[in-house]
Structure formats: structure tokens, C-alpha cells
Chain A
Amino acid sequence: MYTFSNRLRIGAIILMALGIVGMTIGFISAPGSVEEAKAIVAAHDDGHGGSHGEEHAVAGHETHDEASAEEHAAHDEHVYHQLANRPWAALYVAAFFFFMISLGVLAFYGIQRASQAGWSPLLFRVMEGITAYLVPGGIIVFVLLVLSVLHFNHLFPWMDPEVVAEDKIIQNKAGYLNPTFFLIRAAIYLGGWIAYREISRRLSIAQDKADDDSNFKKNFRWSAGFLVFYLVTESMMSWDWIMSVDPHWFSTLFGWYVFASMVVSGVTVIAMVAIYLKSKGYLPDVNDSHIHDLGKFMFGFSIFWTYLWFGQFMLIWYANIPEEVTYFVQRIEEYKLPFFGMVAMNFVFPLLVLMNSDYKRINWFVIMTGIVVLLGHYLDVFNMIMPSAVGDKWFIGLPELGALSFFSGAFIFWVFRALTKAPLQVTRNPYIEESRQFHY
């Protein structure tokens, strides 16, 4: 049995506390009205000399005064929404990122069970521990979605009746993008994923005490069924929770793209938690070959993610159809560093570091690559959500780091708490001996 080390628990609580402070400052310093937003922008512009606002004002006043005033009001309103969105978007990105990790682990776990992999049963309890975060993480994401529906923020433009009233394109999508149906769908996805997680966990624990393999077989069937459900709901979830922040834009491979990001972060976290537990002596049977296999999955899925990232980018860049390409125009103009930086972190770095077979067996190499990959995939989610929420007003400051810190603390706390609830090694799995003998 694993005991939650006090240092780790205190570390997680400190992370959460710091995170709450950061997020609170973020929410307090966000403007509450258009006037406040103007003051913030003015203060910001003074520091940087030449301002976009002044130039714009001079150019406007020369010709038509009235139209310019109206335009100005609209501009101020827009800036106010962007600034007000920032703490919310920071919260949403971090909440989704950590939820996504445990969902990615759940998908990977389902695949391991359905494919009856011989190497991984030793790591099942680690995976089950990580997927425990699915419940609190999913609830937090759901609450954030409900708050969006209740107009606490403007993350999803299609939820704003004023926007929809003037927007023919969103009106035509209202059959799918309407608040009630949106929340019902979210509840179905979350319900299904959490249900599978709980059932599989229960069967996994029951199998340890059983005297036949019936629980194992049931778990196999549930996992195969879950993967079908997951494939459909994950795709729809990516349209709902991520793609719909840009309701004028669509991409057909978006679901896969989000899946790749999710599963590579998931595998990375499995590897990191396994290495941590092994270093503390809790997983004596996990050997270098298991870490090597996880390293291979990290490497392979990193390249899979890049393939989809590039597949999506290149098709849209090449055809250059105005209604699609604005998505990338905005990202390249306003998010150049995060947009291309994440390709370096998620592709070039793991490609060069994890290519060598020997390096995949060196624990600190895997941990170091894992940290870079996780930060890279945080940036990936950041790049998906932020441009529509805050536009060029983005910065990785207190609200973002605070949210990241809070959710990493909550994630660590919940995951390691769940790891103490059951023995760290499954005992009566038919493949456990193969897994124990596994070497590559």
C-alpha cells in the first residue's frame, strides 16, 4: 500500500494556495466595466510609447466624427470583454488541461485493457490513480461551462444572445450550439467517462480477490465498449468545449488533434508518476523496460500530435480560404511565440531526446522530456482557447500561472490520495506475471 508522503501533500496544498492567490488577484485586477478597461489599456499604452488607440483616433477624427465615435465605443467594449475574459480563460485552460490529462490516461487505460497488453498490468493502479482526478476535474470543468451559460464570462460568443442576434452564421448553428443542449451533451460525456472509470476500477479491485477471471473478462467488455463511446464523445467534446469558442471556424480533424494532445500528456503523466513511485520504492517490479515502453508511447504520440497539428495547419494554409484561415492568421500574428514554441516543445525536443533507445530507459531523461512535453501541451490548450477569449491581450502572468499552480496542486493531491486507496500492484490479473517478466 502506498502512503501519501507528507512533503508531497504539503507541496500540493502550497501549490493550491498560491494558485488561489494568483487567480484571486487575476479576478480582482480584471476590469469590471468599459471605463476601467480603458484605464488599463491607457496605463499599458503609456508605458510603451506609441499607441494603437491614438493613431486610430487621429485617423478617425479627420474624416467622419460620428462613425468614429461609434466605432470607438464598439472597440472599447471589445477590449473590455477581452480583459474581463482573461482570468476566466486562464482558469478554463488550466482546468481543462488537467482534466484532459486524466481523460487521456483513461483512454490509454481502456486501450491497454481492450488490447490485453502484456506489459502494462503492473501500471494499471497508477493509471487508475490518475483517472481518479476525472471526477473532481470533470465537475470543475462542468461548473465552468454552467457559469459560461449563465453569462458570468464571455468565453463562448455563441452563448451571448446579443451576439447571436446579429450573427447569421451562429444563428444557423443554433440547432447544435444552444445552451441547454450544450449542457446536456457535456453531462452525457462526463457521465459516461466517469461511469466507465468507476466500473472498471471496481472490477479491477474485485479481480484481485476473485477466484476466477470473470471480472477481468467483464472489464475487457466494458473497456471495448468505452472506447467506442469515447471515440464519439471525445470528438464531440472537442467541438463543444474548444472549437465552439471560435463559432465561425471549423476543422474536421479537430477531435483527433485534441485526442493526440490528451493522450500524449496522459502517457507522460503515467511515466512521471510511475518513475516517482518507483524511486520511492513502491513499484519494485516496474523495470526500465516498462519506462522504455512509456517513452516509446510518448515519442510516438508526440509525432502523431505533430502530424495532426501540421495536417490541420498545412491544409488550411495551402488552400487559404478566408473563412478558415483567419484562425491561423490570428495565431501567427498575435501568438507567434506560443504557437511555434509549442511545436518545438512538443515535436522537436521529444523527437531528438527520445529517439535514442538508451535514453528512454534513463529516468531523469524521461522526467525532463515529460516536463517539456506537458508545458508544451499546456501551451497547446492555451493556443486553442486564448485567441478567441482575449485576443492580443494575452500574457502568461498571475492569472495563468495561478490557475496552473492551483490545478497542478489539486491534481497531485487527488491523484496521490487515490493511489493510497488500493494496493499499487494488481494481483490476480492473468497478465500480471508476463508484465512482471517484461523486458525489452
Chain B
Amino acid sequence: MAETKIHAYYDDDDVLMHAVKKVKAAKHHIEEVYCPFPVHGLDRAMGLAPTRIAITSFMYGCLGLTIAIVMMNYIMIQDWPMNIGGKPSFSYIENMPAFVPIMFEMTVFFAAHLMVITFYLRSKLWPFKEAENPDVRTTDDHFVMEVEVHNNEDELKELLLETGAVELNIIKKRH
């Protein structure tokens, strides 16, 4: 079965924003919007769900903190409680101030790095990945809105032209 999509080109982010709102209002499903730079408020206009990456970051931070505590408790208190310069190594809490810099850094390290890796995984980014942008101009000065067609090509074309599209391309893909 052949799937048909329309690529509508815009050359201004304001026009794009209005177009997105119009197309949404007309109940057409917007597959994707390709932009050369972040357009403020576009995600809200498209009705995308808010990101949960900050929540993952918080959990990764907790993980890092736990690892730091368990690691130093094992090494410094349980396994080999040495007297190093008179620091009290009888219990974790007694020597805790000395561990805080490491606890802090491990928290930040885990929160930051695992969050970035999560971002890469979720947005499917890696080296040697084939670029997905439909037109090289979308990395420079054009915006492309991709809308699915369900036997309503003419009507959709008209709507998109009305919203200020500067160019329309019909894409037919075979699966």
C-alpha cells in the first residue's frame, strides 16, 4: 500500500506557527515539523506531550547518590577502616563531611550523563546515523510540515497553500 504525505514548505517561523494551529484546528494529523532552529511554543501548538526527561534525570541523580554512599561506606568504613590523619572511620555518619564532595559530584555525573544518553536513545541519535531531514533546506532557512493524506489531497493542498506555504511536495512511500 502506498502512503501519501504532503510536505509543506514555509520560510518564516511565525507563519509556520499559525499554519500549525490552522492545520490542527482543521483536524489534520501533523506527522512531523522540521525546523532549522527551535521555534518557541511549537510543541505546545502541535499538542506534543511534555518531556519527562527531567524526571529521569532526578532518578539518575538518586542512583548516583546511592552508588557514592554505598561505595564509600564499603571502601572507607566496612572493608578497610584505616586511620587516615585522625579522621573518624567508625561509622559513615561520623566521616560524612569528607564524603560529601564525592557524593555531590557523583549525583551530578549520573544525573547529567545518563540523562544525555537517555535523550540520545529516545531521539534515536548516534554517530553514522543516516540523517532524516527531508530537504537540506530545513537545516538552513526553511521549515517543513509533514501532513498525512487520506484521500483528501486537493482539500489539504488548498488548506496548506492558504496558510502561507511557499512550496508543496507530494511524497509517495512504498512499504
**Nearest neighbor of A316 in chain B, beta-carbon distance:** B97
- Within the complex, the shortest CB–CB distance from A320 to chain B, in Å, comes to 7
Once A and B bind, how many residue pairs between them come within 8 Å at the CB atom?
12
Interface residue total, chain A, C-beta cutoff 8 A = 8
* Alpha-carbon distance between A357 and B53 when the two chains are bound, in angstroms: 13
User: Which of B54, B58, B86, B97 is the one whose CB lies under 8 Å from A313?
Assistant: B97
Contact B100 A310 (CB under 8 A): yes
Binary per-residue interface labels of chain B (100-139) against chain A in the complex, 1 for a CB within 8 Å, 0 otherwise: 1000000000000000000000000000000000000000
Binary per-residue interface labels of chain A (275-319) against chain B in the complex, 1 for a CB within 8 Å, 0 otherwise: 000000000000000000000000000000000001001100110
Give the residues in chain A near B98, CB-CB below 8 Å.
Answer: 314, 318
Interface residue total, chain B, C-beta cutoff 8 A = 6
A355 at the interface (CB under 8 A from B): yes
Contact A318 B97 (CB under 8 A): yes
- Within the complex, the shortest CB–CB distance from B170 to chain A, in Å, comes to 39
* Alpha-carbon distance between A416 and B19 when the two chains are bound, in angstroms: 49
Binary per-residue interface labels of chain A (43-83) against chain B in the complex, 1 for a CB within 8 Å, 0 otherwise: 00000000000000000000000000000000000000000
Binary per-residue interface labels of chain A (357-371) against chain B in the complex, 1 for a CB within 8 Å, 0 otherwise: 100000000000000
* Alpha-carbon distance between A313 and B98 when the two chains are bound, in angstroms: 11
Give the residues in chain B near A318, CB-CB below 8 Å.
Answer: 97-98
**Nearest neighbor of B87 in chain A, beta-carbon distance:** A318
Chain A binding surface, main DSSP class? helix
**Nearest neighbor of A307 in chain B, beta-carbon distance:** B104
- Within the complex, the shortest CB–CB distance from B124 to chain A, in Å, comes to 26
Contact B86 A317 (CB under 8 A): no
Contact B58 A317 (CB under 8 A): no
Contact A314 B97 (CB under 8 A): yes
Give the residues in chain A near B58, CB-CB below 8 Å.
Answer: 355
* Alpha-carbon distance between A318 and B86 when the two chains are bound, in angstroms: 10
Give the residues in chain B near A355, CB-CB below 8 Å.
Answer: 58
Give the residues in chain A near B54, CB-CB below 8 Å.
Answer: 357
Give the residues in chain A near B86, CB-CB below 8 Å.
Answer: 320
* Alpha-carbon distance between A314 and B86 when the two chains are bound, in angstroms: 15
* Alpha-carbon distance between A305 and B97 when the two chains are bound, in angstroms: 16
* Alpha-carbon distance between A257 and B100 when the two chains are bound, in angstroms: 19
Give the residues in chain B near A320, CB-CB below 8 Å.
Answer: 86
* Alpha-carbon distance between A215 and B98 when the two chains are bound, in angstroms: 52
- Within the complex, the shortest CB–CB distance from A352 to chain B, in Å, comes to 10
* Alpha-carbon distance between A243 and B111 when the two chains are bound, in angstroms: 38
Instruction: State which residues 54-109 of B face A: CB under 8 Å.
Output: 54, 58, 86, 97-98, 100
**Nearest neighbor of A358 in chain B, beta-carbon distance:** B50
* Alpha-carbon distance between A142 and B149 when the two chains are bound, in angstroms: 78
**Nearest neighbor of B58 in chain A, beta-carbon distance:** A355
- Within the complex, the shortest CB–CB distance from A217 to chain B, in Å, comes to 31
* Alpha-carbon distance between A320 and B86 when the two chains are bound, in angstroms: 10
- Within the complex, the shortest CB–CB distance from B140 to chain A, in Å, comes to 30
Binary per-residue interface labels of chain A (331-364) against chain B in the complex, 1 for a CB within 8 Å, 0 otherwise: 0000000000000000000000001010000000
Instruction: State which residues 82-117 of A face B: CB under 8 Å.
Output: none
Which B residues have a C-beta under 8 Å from some C-beta of A? 54, 58, 86, 97-98, 100
CB-CB nearest 4 A-B residue pairs? A314-B97, A317-B97, A318-B98, A310-B100
Which A residues have a C-beta under 8 Å from some C-beta of B? 310, 313-314, 317-318, 320, 355, 357
6 further A-B pairs in the complex, CB-CB below 8 A; given A314-B97, A314-B98, A314-B100: A310-B97, A310-B100, A313-B97, A318-B97, A318-B98, A355-B58
